[in-house]
Amino acid sequence: MNKKNDGKKLISSNKKAYHDYFVEEKFEAGIVLQGTEVKSVRNGNVNLKDSYCRIEKGEIFVLGMHISPYEQGNIFNCDPLRPKKLLMHKKEILKLFGKVGKDGLSIIPLSVYISGSHIKVELGLCKGKKLYDKREALAQKQLKRETDRFMKNNRE
């Protein structure tokens, strides 16, 4: 678990989302968890790899988010892949719904973190990258790494 700025403790991040999508806009949402899921999240047992969000009947749900069962939870553990409701203002949900429907964007969970005593999810309004975009981003990252290494060796 890493520390995030502003008193926020990062639990899990979705690094694959930044590789597969262009993040247009970010939103913060609360999440409805049941019983032992809270303890499991606080232990860092969250996987966001293939998760996405869907808006149904004016409510937003995250699907594919895996929260591992709590070890000491016995019969009170929930299904790890159950849809989890997110808490956002109605205006924000309607704004997202309009952009997803009109522009063909996706809502992807980017990270899960603890803010105060609340567990929050950072959502990204994302546009999918094409294969050539992914290759270009990888090339830029590699070029930056090589220039940093070169600069470091020249200082010594």
Q: Which residue blocks in the chain are alpha helix, DSSP H?
A: 15-20, 37-42, 90-103, 131-155
Instruction: Give me the residues paired with residue 8 across strands.
Output: 4, 115
pLDDT of amino acid 89: 92
Residue-wise pLDDT tens digits, 75-124: 767 777 888 899 999 998 888 888 887 777 888 999 999 888 889 999 98
**What's the CA angle centered on 106, arms 29 and 57, to 5 degrees?**
65
The domain 2-129 having CATH identifier 3.40.50.300: the answer here is no
- The domain ranges of the chain are 2-129
pLDDT of amino acid 154: 81
- Judged against a pLDDT cut of 80, whether residue 127 lies above it is answered with yes
pLDDT tier at 70 (50, 70, 90 boundaries)? Answer: confident
To the question of pTM greater than 0.85 for the whole model, the response is no
- Judged against a pLDDT cut of 70, whether residue 2 lies above it is answered with no
Strand, helix or coil for residue 55: strand
**Dist. CA 83–CA 53, nearest whole Å:** 9
Give whole-number Cα distances, 90 to 42, 110, 145, in Å.
28, 21, 43
- Judged against a pLDDT cut of 80, whether residue 133 lies above it is answered with no
**Dist. CA 122–CA 120, nearest whole Å:** 7
Joined together, the tokens standing for residue 86 give: 């997110």
Q: What percentage of the chain has pLDDT greater than the value 70? A: 94
